[in-house]
Chain A
């Protein structure tokens, strides 16, 4: 298990002071909050049939990415992320603050590579027609690929675009590796602030689920939800995840740093832990989650758990065993409401947890499976869970600032 260190007698307390959400439910905190409370889910069963997706809510990109030239240099996943990052900076009250942005650390979780499907299909067809002379692929790629497409595919260019558009230019690190990359990016950003290696950081990620190349990748493993939407907890007979499009970013900083600039916290980010279960035998995922839970510190009964459970099997069933051991907690699935956004799902869960704590309530259960129960009191602790569809487990404890 990897965890936040307690290396000093008093590690810095870390606050979440900014949240940026641009999802299938809308843009900004109010739109997402209202949709969650209304039980609204934005799901599209037709455009990519038989695959189900949670499409991004189109926004006026100009408000966060003013230069059209910048927008053109990005593919959708980068635009979504750069947009959401701008919202987070605005929410934290640091947008345009050159002094702070110039020393802000970025740890981002990213996938990459939106491919040009048309080019890929044309080449594969021509090869099948027997036009595959030596050098055919070279020639097609040299002439058909847009020269700057590569930059829109590179994982670290999400951070690069955020630096260019918003001026976040302290340090920049991009973690890759699906769901748990989002956990580890948060874990290390938190560890650095707690230890005094950093004062303020932008964390998060973005995902475009409306991509057939991703459906192919996950299709190899039969992970895609097909035909009909169902809440994550009601997919046992029909497992899989519906890809979602979302950008989720948070500004986290030491309490001292926040107080000094008069920033208000949404919540405290207390601890982040992650691990890699080998997943050779049934029960190993459940055991890994139990172990991570025990590493979170003092947890009070009757609080809440926000999970990014995917709906894929056998992992979701293993996670349900773990959740069943904490039946007094109000569980909320981000997968049901936003689809699966891989490396972005954990930041999405963190953002919603901090938002729920700051608003003093939880949005209602999302289905009748019994996994998600009502919560009548204001949440003061929310555990955010990420269980990778193939690898990696992680958790965070988000708490009310006392």
Chain B
């Protein structure tokens, strides 16, 4: 039997349950089948009018009804589904009684347009001020809007539903949020605070203003036709990311607790790392040092060397800047091996699930370890010659995979990486 502690004397943190939902479908089985078949979940938007938009496609989840619709309501529903699957697989705790804390990566919440419009409908006049809105917002008629649009409302609902312990954490590190949620769980278990943690990321920000915001920052692909071909990580003709919705959830446990209850171990979170970039609000430091440092910290946290990593689940957003920086920094850390390690970007198929991405891609990385098969990066027709990764282009590849590095980089200088392995080291 392997010692329950890692080489640094810390409790080993394992994964005993996983759940995922993306634009490809609900659940691990459906997602894995479509992911390895190279299918795209990106489609032309039907949720709202697309007139006047530069980007008209996204990886929306339209097969989960939410009434009345709100982005925050959908993000909550997606998290519920991913968590049900994860907790079900782990077989941990009782119904509504998860024996540990909740760490939830969730988009910042605010009042949304449909609700704002609902409020404005009450006026007989067509010339009202914001003060007029304020004058009619109270009295209980819109009381549910208060709860719905609290920043903590999604985590609060999840804590009540799944019976997680203590104060639920809602966090944002932008596009690295999902990885941060996992890191917080790993740290709590390593500190001995808990034997188990529920870590998840959820995202459902494809609404009009959400899309416009990223569009105004010129971050989104505008290659709308056909939508399935829009997300082109590592391709020369990539032109931005594709917004997407989804959720990923992981049940983390100490190795000791998991084995004591006879749980199946799906993988190990061997290392986590993060390092802030102070260069610019949306751009990486040109020398890539913060990202390089992030990867090195993660290797060091795992007690591993670059030689031991045999697959990289890239951030791979398909923005011109990200993919270039990711190659530049990875090649600094991995040297020649940067061209030999198979690299893939799940975002080519599911799009960029923003707050959820780190968690969704951790689930996919663990499935890669389980199946010894790497999902492809689709739309890889015109490789960018300056990015000399061994991209798993267009077709899934069988490979011996023992340790995956999964990277997440976000606005605000947020960099986070995870190393996932099949077995405790």
Interface residues of A in 114-157 (CB under 8 A from B): 115, 117, 120-121, 124-125, 127-130, 133-139, 141-142, 145, 147-151, 153-157
- Within the complex, the shortest CB–CB distance from B257 to chain A, in Å, comes to 15
A176 touches B108 (CB 8 A): yes
Q: Which of B123, B143, B216, B276 contacts A106 (CB 8 A)?
A: B276
The stretch among A327-335, A350-358, A377-385, A388-396 that forms the contact with chain B is: A388-396
- B-facing residues in A265-310 (Cβ within 8 Å): 274-276, 278
**B residues less than 8 Å from A149 (CB atoms):** 213
B137 and A276: CB pair below 8 A?
no
Residue of B144, B217, B278 with highest tally of chain A CB at under 10 A: B278
Task: Tell me if A203 is interfacial: C-beta within 8 Å of chain B.
Answer: no
How far, in whole Å, are A127 and B169 apart by their CA atoms in the complex? Answer: 38
Residues of B within 8 A of A130 (CB): 126
B209 within 8 A of A: yes
Do residues B116 and A120 form an inter-chain contact, with CB atoms below 8 A? Answer: yes
Q: Tell me which residues across on chain A come within 8 A of B106, comparing CB atoms.
A: 176
- List the B side residues contacting A192 at CB < 8 Å: 187, 191
Q: Which residues of A75-127 have CB atoms within 8 Å of chain B's CB atoms?
A: 106, 110-113, 115, 117, 120-121, 124-125, 127
Which stretch in A36-44, A59-67, A213-221, A318-326 binds the other chain?
A: A213-221
Question: Nearest Cβ in chain B — how far from A325, in angstroms?
Answer: 22
Binary flags per residue of A186-212, CB closer than 8 Å to B gives 1, else 0: 011001100101000000000000001
B150 within 8 A of A: yes
CB distance from B415 to the nearest CB of A (A): 9
A391 to B193 CA separation, bound complex (whole angstroms): 23
Cα A138 to Cα B52 in complex, Å, equals: 6
Contact between chains at A220 and B138 (CB < 8 Å)? yes
- Chain A residues whose CB sits within 8 angstroms of the CB of B131 once the complex forms: 212
A5:B150 contact, CB within 8 angstroms: no
The reply to whether B150 and A390 form a contact with Cβ atoms under 8 Å apart is yes
Q: Does B32 contact A (CB under 8 A)?
A: no
- Chain B: residues with Cβ within 8 Å of the partner, total of 87
Q: Is the CB of A157 within 8 A of B281?
A: yes
B52 with A142: CB separation less than 8 A: yes
Q: Are A188 and B184 in contact (CB under 8 A)?
A: yes
Instruction: State in angstroms the CA–CA spacing of A343 and B150 once bound together.
Output: 11
State whether the Cβ of A317 lies closer than 8 Å to any Cβ in chain B.
no
- CB contacts (< 8 Å) of A128 on chain B: these are 120-121, 123, 125-126, 128
Collect the chain B residues with CB atoms within 8 Å of residue A168's CB.
276, 278
Residue of B nearest to A158 (CB): B412
> Are B281 and A7 in contact (CB-based, < 8 A)?
no
A134 to B160: give the CA distance in the assembly, Å: 39
Chain B residues contacting A184 (CB-CB under 8 Å) are 167, 169
Binds B, one of A20-28, A159-167, A231-239, A249-257: A159-167
Shortest B134–chain A CB gap in Å is 6
A399 at the interface (CB under 8 A from B): no
